[in-house]
Amino acid sequence: MASDEDSDEDFVTYGTPLEPLEEDEPVRKPVPVHEQTVKDEKGRYKRFHGAFTGGFSAGYFNTVGSQEGWTPSTFVSSRQQKAEKPNIRPEDFMDEEDFSEHGIAPREIVPTDDFASGKKDQLKDKARAVSSLAALIPGDTGLLEELIAPARSSIGVELLRKMGWKDGQGVGPRLKRKQRKQNDDAVKVYGCAFPPNGSEESEEDEDEFAPENVSFAPKDVVPVDFTPKVDSHGLGYRGLNPLQALGGGSETGHINLFTLQSDRTTSLFGDRNSGQQRRGGIGGQAFGVGAMEEEDTDIYHKDSMSNYDNVLGGEEPGDGLYGWTAPQQYTRKKNDPKRDVAYLGRILDGFTLASQVTEIKTVYPPPDLPRDYRPVHYFRPVVDSSTVSPIVAQALQASRGRLSQDAPQQGRHSLDSSQRCDMLGETPLQGPSSVFELLGSKDRERLNEIRRAATEQNKSVENLSSAVDRAAVVASAKAAALQALSSRFQSIAPQLDSHTQSQTSPTKSQASSETQMALKAWSGPTADASKTFKPFAENPLKQARYDLYITKLKQGNKDALESSLDSSMTEWERGRERDEFVRAALLYKPSNSSLSSRFTRSKHEDDTDSVDVTRDQENDMDDKQAAVKMKMFGKLTRETFEWHPDKLLCKRFNVPDPYPGSSTVGMPKVKRDKYSVFNFLTITDSSQVSRGAPSASKPPSSSSTLPHLTPEVSNKKSRWDIPGQEPKDPLSAFLSETRSEVLAAKNQTDSPHATATPEVKVAQSDGKQTEQKTEEEEKEEDEEEVRPPMDLFKAIFASSSDEKSSSSSEDDSEEEKEVAPPASDPIQSSAETLNPPVSAQSTPAPDISRLTELKHLTVQSMPSAETTAQNTQSSHSAPAKSQGLDEEEFGPRLPPPGFIPSACSPQLKKQKKKDKEKHKAKKHKKEKKKKKNKKHKHKGKQKKRVEESNSSSDDTDSNSEDENSVVSTSELLQRLKNIRSKREHI
Amino acid sequence: MAFPQPRPQVPQLPQHLLRTIECQQGAVRAVRFNADGNYVLTCGSDKSLKLWSASRGTLLKTYTGHGYEVLDVDSSFDNSQLCSCSSDKTVILWDVASGQVTRKLRGHAGKVNCVQFNEEATVMLSGSIDGTVRCWDTRSRRYEPIQILDEAQDGISSLKVSEHELLIGSVDGRVRRYDLRMGQLHVDFIGSPITCVCFSRDGQCTLSSSLDSTVRLLDKSSGEMLGEYSGHVNKGYKLDCCLSDKDTHVLSCSEDGHVYFWDLVEVSLTLKLPVGKAVVQSLSFHPTEPRLLTSMEGHVQVWGAEPETAAVEDS
């Protein structure tokens, strides 16, 4: 039927299809009713019975009972054992089916009433009370129902109770008293109240004396009674209120038989018109006149029909709400915003409804866009000409007509701190101006040797024949230096390259821009291999190759990269290493001087990511070392830290815990993040590079070292090394070389300054000792040993440079006055002799200014015999300075000598005395100095001669020093011993 | 002020050799009086520790258990325990009577240079070349130190304990004084590697010898230098220095085979006691009497103020 070929897909079939009929098959006979069988769920046959028997088996095969018929199975017939009375329950007579889910006594888990709450459901009661009033039997409050119905409360009610809700209260936020007051115009009723209203009344009675700050639960909301209309009254007719009718309510005269739904409830609970006139006691027609009653009142109450309404809805309810809305309490005051809010819902705590309507913002239309505006911005890449190959740079320049090269001059932010410092005229930062100074003397010496070798190599390359050529070269070099300085903030790659190309071996033209940058960075004055970061420390061979590369870079070697790579490696490996090296060289390029001055040598090796650092670090050792040398133990060498002993240790030592509350042990630690450089290992961008460039092209003046920082104990060479004269920069090195060469051609006389230098140092280091001697000794010592240290210092630094020309001497003496630093700052002054003053740095020609300065320094130290006036001038200034040095050798670092107890330092008294007689001493000293200077004149001249015989400037120091150092050091030692022995004899 | 006034009678110096003890335990690394000065302890380079009678010079006991040469020893106040340290990085607490190892404490990363009991022998303090001082508890069975003082930046060469203070000299050229009562650490910078530190007996000063051949007496509270004693040779060895029993003299070993005596106040060399040709490596002054122990090479010499009658009696 359903399995037609066509309709298979079209129709949905339900049920099991019947077997297809075969035509040959005889039609089955329907099974007769008496042969049909029905089985129950256990497979047993069920019998059908007639309608009377209910359709199910009753008993044993239609019998009631068992096989034995009605014989009770429990019957025992014996004398000994009487038949017990069986405890028969109704279940015994019930069938299995009765216990199933839909049976008479289902054996399912059902909550019993025992567990339901025993309390009355107030809500229901109220509802019942409402309905009861409308019930036929007046006063019936559903007592019957209450008797029958088990008290049961829903889970919601239970939950509410758990949350603190109490029967009779409303649900919602608690209210202040006043708010509630408005709602109900409840009237006090004394005496006994009537059952339906009782609960309400008692509640409201207490409201009167509620204090201000007490909040109350909201009034319960009466569920709207949607009782169906079952009576045959008219619509809205509620019948006679039995209370009114019976309880003397009739005295009001008017009985309202019709109420609208909205005020029906209020009339029940809130309005108590009926009760208003009631008096105590029970009165009424039916009871006659009581003893307390006035006799005049009409006992026989006449009810008039005028008391009753005949019409539905006589007056407007006045609320404007036809039909049902919210309960009365909400509808009453419409203009009260708070009501509205309350009706709207709860407002969040801390918020109130705005009293005023917020102003509507005037919205202005967006500006009209220009017609050809396209909302896309194209960022033009700023390309540094040095970073990109020239072809690309040119192309870029052509494309946009501007290179980034001229940009840095405008940007304030592109200057680094030292440049800004220069512009502002601030004094440069104290401390080591370059990493180079933090080097050990050995390392420095090694570097110097490397550099020297390089410069010599350079010299051999250049073949300048005549002095004229040299002069020309000098001129050009100066011009180039000027140019370099003026374009200091820019990348000076082109100029530098041109110079280096002219000097060094021909460079590869195809050197990549990165290698050039690395070259620039590393050939700077601050470069130093030994102190640089070792990025390939894990692989010593690689690190060695890298070091080689760096050193070559610093020598200005153009093909440093290629030559330092291992030729035995494969091309691919080499290529990779080349990249790595260049990148590492760029990344770890030497920081410029102002940056490095902010750092000091690390005291600990860090190897974790974050390290515990003791909060109080011991401060720098230099001060302490100086103090130790001066034997000024005490405050200078003493440092005190907070230290927490372990509690147990205190206990064992029988000492109370000094820090009872703290849990720290040892020095207080501070967690510090440690950054590995590898965190930032990325390819340097162009901005970084351009920033690095000026540091490399810094004038050599900024990288000079302070003399007092040179370590005392070292071998000779490094000891007399003059760091300020070291060629830091290929450019400056070249300049100084050429300059000295030219001047060497001019001057034939020698000046052996170097012999004097050791004495200077001795005088410096032992300055304090010499001071401590008795005056007589001091005088002698002064005569013999204590040279004017400052002068000779300057002589050292002037030694390698040019000699003063007699023509410029007068000018120099004038200049000297200006430039001479104040004597109160000896260290500074010695530093400044190396560092040209800040203002000089910003001048366009620093090298020249430096040159002149060096000149007048020599003048200062070696006053010429010809100009006596100048002599006196210089000698005036020189002793003053030297005095300053004597007094304040370590001046700014040490506290005034007065703080040391007089008992342990008798020499200090002397010092004070000296201070008192300062003027005298000064005069004395001046005279002495004069003598000295005269004395030294001859010496000085000799020294000059010796020195100038050495033509090359760089070798001058070492050579002359080699010549003289043997004598001088031995002499020096001898003197030192003398001093010491003298002291011991005291 | 803090110094004891020089007494009217000239203080006697232990300049007479009473006896020489041949220890037969290799080089004697350190020689120490016990707490009351009746016994002598010697640390040998043959891993042994020996206890001698100071008066007779007889060997009383040999303590073996160290794995390498013994470097320092200290005895407890009640003579019941000894602590010693060794190059084998261990500190051993000995029972004196039985000669058994009570506790062997490992934890130092390098050889342990110096060891001291505190006053009540409840804590052992050991300073090692690894730059740490470890405070070992002798009362508990813990094998971990109570506290590790790792402020020094180089090896610890010497340490002394007073009532509530630890004085620690380090090769980094600083003398550190840990004040347990105040909870403070005072660091005095000396500059040269410290070889030996000690308190003065009045507890007001500290004495420190350093490798610049100088012994310095510093005021404990302020760190000011009260005296500087030089003339001896101390360039490479860890030599001892000490104060005499009455704090009148400063003593120091020297590498030229002498013991130098300086007057504490006058800072003048009072006596240059010739001990032998080799380096006087260790010395110890008797706590109450003018008696001195010096160690040189394999023997220990006992020095007294006057030629001892007992010695004469013995012979």
Nearest to B123 among A640, A649, A904 (CB): A649
Residue A839 predicted with pLDDT over 50: no
Residue B192, min C-alpha distance to chain A (Å) = 10
At CB < 8 Å, which residues of chain A contact B? 603-604, 614, 618, 621, 624-625, 627-629, 631, 633-635, 637-646, 648-650, 652-656, 658-659, 665-667, 900-901, 904
Q: In what order do the strands lie in the sheet with B39-44?
A: B28-33, B39-44, B48-53, B59-64
Residues of B in contact with A900 (CB under 8 A): 224
Provide the edge-to-edge strand list for the sheet that holds B280-285.
B16-22, B299-304, B291-296, B280-285
User: Per-residue pLDDT averaged across B135-162, rounded?
Assistant: 89
Position B294 pLDDT exceeds 60 = yes
- Pair of tokens at residue B11: 């203080």
pLDDT of residue A776 exceeding 50, the answer is no
Q: Which of A642, A648, A900 sits opposite B183 (nearest CB)?
A: A642
At residue B172's C-alpha, the angle toward residues B171 and B177, to 5°, is 90
Contacts A–B by Cβ distance under 8 A:
114
CA dihedral A371, A374, A375, A381 (to 10 degrees): -140
Distances (CA, A) of A332 to A156, A236, A529, A661: 30, 21, 93, 66
What is the pLDDT, as a whole number, of residue A447? 83
* SS3 call for A899: helix
Q: What's the gap between Cα A144 and its chain centre?
A: 75
pLDDT for the residue numbered A670: 66
Q: Residue A227's CB: how many other CB atoms inside 10 A?
A: 11
The domains located in chain B, with CATH, are 16-304 (2.130.10.10)
Q: Select from A627, A652, A666 the Cβ nearest to the Cβ of B122.
A: A652
Q: Residue A66, SS3?
A: strand
Mean pLDDT value across residues B252-264: 90
Among residues A712, A736, A715, which one has the least CA distance to residue A724?
Answer: A736
- Please tell me the predicted confidence (pLDDT) of residue A596: 52
Q: Specify the DSSP element, H or E, that contains B207.
A: strand B205-210
- Helix H segments across A359-507? 390-400, 407-410, 417-424, 441-461, 467-486, 493-503
A684-715 per-position pLDDT tens digit? 444 443 343 343 333 433 333 333 433 333 33
Q: Which residue of A has its CA nearest to B226?
A: A904
- A356, with CB counted inside 10 A (0-12, 13-18, 19+), is exposed
Nearest residue of chain A to residue B138 (CA atoms): A652
CA distance A957 to A937: 20
Among all residues of chain A, which has the CA nearest to that of B228? A631
Percentage of chain A beyond pLDDT 70 is 26
Write out pLDDT tens, residues A856-904. 444 444 444 443 444 444 444 444 444 444 444 444 444 444 444 444 3
Q: How confident is the model at residue A138 (pLDDT cuts 50, 70, 90)?
A: low
Residue A754 and residue A758: Cα distance in Å, rounded?
8
pLDDT tens for residues A473-514?
Answer: 555 555 555 555 554 444 434 444 444 444 433 434 444 566
Q: Which of B132, B164, B189, B208 to mutate to test the interface with A (most CBs of A within 10 A)?
A: B189
Burial environment of residue B105 by CB neighbours within 10 A (0 to 12, 13 to 18, 19 or more): buried
Q: What is the pLDDT of residue A19?
A: 76
CA angle A934, A937, A940 (to 5 degrees): 150
- Chain B contacts of A643, Cβ < 8 Å? 151, 178-179, 183-185
- pLDDT category of residue A132 using cuts at 50, 70 and 90: low
Flag if B191 and A654 touch (Cβ within 8 Å).
no
Of residues A266 and A556, more confidence is placed in A556
Q: Which of A622, A638, A624, A632 is nearest to A898 (CA)?
A: A632
Opening angle at CA B194, ends B106 and A766, nearest 5: 160
Look at residue A642 and give its three-state secondary structure: strand
pLDDT above 90 coverage of chain A, percent = 0
Interface of B with A (CB under 8 A): 118-120, 122-123, 135, 137, 139, 146-151, 153, 163-164, 178-191, 216, 218-219, 222-226, 228
Residue A27 has pLDDT above 80, yes or no: no
Strand pairing partners for B16? B304
CA distance A830 to chain B (A): 26
N-to-C CA span, chain B:
46
Mean pLDDT of A648-659: 87
Whether the pLDDT of residue A192 is over 70: the answer is no
pLDDT of residue A810: 43
Q: Quick check: B182 and A658 CB within 8 A? A: yes
**Structure confidence at residue B288 (pLDDT):** 87
pLDDT at B79 over 60: yes
CB contact at 8 A, B182 and B220: no
Local confidence band at B43 (pLDDT 50, 70, 90 cut-offs): very high
Residue A54 zone, left/alpha/beta (φ > 0; ψ -120 to 50; rest): left
Q: Which residues share a beta bridge with A669? A: A614
Interchain pair A639, B178: CB under 8 A = no
The answer to whether the CB of B152 falls within 8 A of the CB of B111 is: no
pLDDT at A134: 59
For B191, name the nearest residue in chain A, comparing CA atoms only.
Answer: A625
Of B148, B185, B222, the CB nearest to A634: B222
Q: Residues A564, A565, A571, CA angle at the centre, nearest 5°?
A: 155
> What is the structure's pLDDT at B39?
92
> Which range among A430-439, A725-734, A934-943 has the greatest average pLDDT?
A430-439
Residue A264 buriedness (CB in 10 A; 0-12 / 13-18 / 19+) = buried
Query: What is the per-residue pLDDT for A677?
Result: 52
Nearest CA in chain B to A630: B225
- Kindly tell me if the per-residue pLDDT of B71 is higher than 80: yes
Residue A822 pLDDT grade (very low, low, confident, very high; cuts 50, 70, 90): very low
Burial B49-60 (b: 16+ CB within 10 A, else e): bbbbebbebebe
N-term to C-term CA, chain A: 141
Decide if B249 contacts B11 (C-beta within 8 A): yes
Based on DSSP, count helices (H) and strands (E) in chain B, helices before strands. Answer: 1, 28
Question: According to the model, what pLDDT value does residue A194 have?
Answer: 46
Do the chains contact at B180 and A658, CB–CB below 8 Å? yes
Q: State pLDDT tens for residues A270-291.
A: 434 443 444 444 444 455 556 6
Supply the pLDDT for residue B191: 85
Q: What φ, ψ does residue A220 adopt, rounded to 5°? A: -70, 145
Give the phi and the psi of residue B247 in degrees, each rounded to 5: 60, 25
**CA-based nearest residue in chain A for residue B164:** A653
Q: Contact A83/A75 with Cβ under 8 angstroms? A: yes
Which among B77, B221, B224, B264 is the top mutation candidate for probing chain A, defined by the most A β-carbons within 10 Å of its own β-carbon? B224
Exposure b/e, A433-465, CB count within 10 A at least 16 = b: bbbbbbbebebbbbbbeebbebbeebbeeeeee
The CA-CA-CA angle for residues A781, A785, A791, to 5°, reads 125
Q: Do A624 and B184 touch (CB under 8 A)?
A: no
Task: Give B-chain residues touching A902 at CB under 8 angstroms.
Answer: none
Query: Which amino acid, A708?
Result: H
* The pLDDT of residue B209: 92
Which residue of A lies nearest to B225 if distances are taken between CA atoms? A633
Rounded Cα distance between A658 and B179, Å, is 10
Q: Which of A439, A447, A576, A409 is nearest to A523 (CA)?
A: A447
| Per-residue pLDDT band at B92 (split at 50, 70, 90) | very high
* Residue A940, helix vs strand vs coil: helix
SS (H, E, C) A387-399: CCCHHHHHHHHHH
Residue B51 — very low, low, confident or very high, per pLDDT cuts 50/70/90? very high
Task: Tell me which residue of A210, A325, A225 sits closest to A265, measured CA to CA.
Answer: A225
d(CA A882, CA A888): 10
**Residue B12 to chain A, least CA–CA distance (Å):** 25
More confident residue, A200 or A15: A15
A188, A189, A195, A197: CA torsion to nearest 10: -20
pLDDT given for residue A852 in this prediction? 41
B175: nearest CA partner in chain A = A638
Q: Would you state the pLDDT for residue A376?
A: 82
User: Is residue B74 over pLDDT 90?
Assistant: yes
Interchain CB distance below 8 Å, A649 and B180: yes
How remote is the C-alpha of A663 from its chain's centroid? 27
Q: Which of A179-183, A569-573, A863-867, A982-986 has maximum average pLDDT?
A: A569-573
What number of other Cβ atoms are within 10 A of residue A892's Cβ?
A: 11
The chain B residue lying nearest A984, using CA atoms, is B268
The pTM (predicted TM-score) of the whole model is 0.37
Burial A850-860 (b: 16+ CB within 10 A, else e): bbbbbbbbbbb
Task: Express each pLDDT in A278-330 by its tens digit.
Answer: 444 444 445 555 666 555 555 566 667 776 666 655 555 554 545 544 455 54
Q: Of the segments A351-355, A495-499, B50-54, which one has the largest average pLDDT value? A: B50-54
Residue B46 has pLDDT above 60, yes or no: yes
Query: Residue A34: how many CB atoms within 10 A of its CB?
Result: 7
B226-247 confidence digits (pLDDT tens): 888 988 988 888 899 999 888 8
Give chain B positions within 8 Å (CB) of A635: 222-223
A587-601, A953-967, B205-219 — most confident range:
B205-219
Range among A113-117, A811-815, B281-285, B310-314 rated most confident: B281-285
Please check the confidence at residue B82 and state whether its pLDDT lies above 70: yes
- Residue B202 identity: D
Largest CA distance in chain B: 54
Percentage with pLDDT > 90 across chain B: 39
Which residue from A633, A646, A658 is facing B225, i.e. has the nearest CB?
A633
Q: Alpha-carbon distance A858 to A874, whole Å?
A: 11
- Name the band, by pLDDT with cuts 50, 70 and 90, for residue A450: confident
Contact A643 B191 (CB under 8 A): no
Q: Residue B134: what pLDDT?
A: 92
Question: What pLDDT is attached to residue A333?
Answer: 46
Distance from C-alpha of B141 to C-alpha of B146, rounded to nearest angstrom: 11
d(CA B222, CA B200): 15
Q: What gap in Å lies between CA A539 and CA A580, rounded to an integer?
A: 13
Do A639 and B189 count as a contact with CB atoms less than 8 A apart? yes
ipTM: 0.88
For residues B86 and A480, the model is more confident at B86
Chain B residues close to A634, C-beta within 8 Å: 219, 222-225
- pLDDT for residue A178: 55
B118/A652 Cβ within 8 A: yes
- Two structure tokens written together for A217: 């639960």
pLDDT in tens, A30-64: 887 767 777 777 777 766 565 555 555 555 555 55
Task: Place B169 in a pLDDT band, splitting at 50, 70 and 90.
Answer: very high
Residue of chain B whose Cα is closest to the Cα of A633: B224
Cβ neighbours, 10 Å, residue B213: 18
Q: Are A726 and A448 in contact (CB under 8 A)?
A: yes
* Residue A515 pLDDT level (bands cut at 50, 70, 90): low
In the block, residue with structure tokens 């200078």: A636
Q: How confident is the model at residue A616 (pLDDT cuts 50, 70, 90)?
A: low
Question: Which chain A residues are closer than 8 Å to B206 by Cβ?
Answer: none
Point out which residues pair with A157 in neighbouring strands.
none
**Residue A983 has what pLDDT?**
54
Contact state of B146 with A648 under an 8 Å Cβ cutoff: yes
CA distance A950 to A751: 10
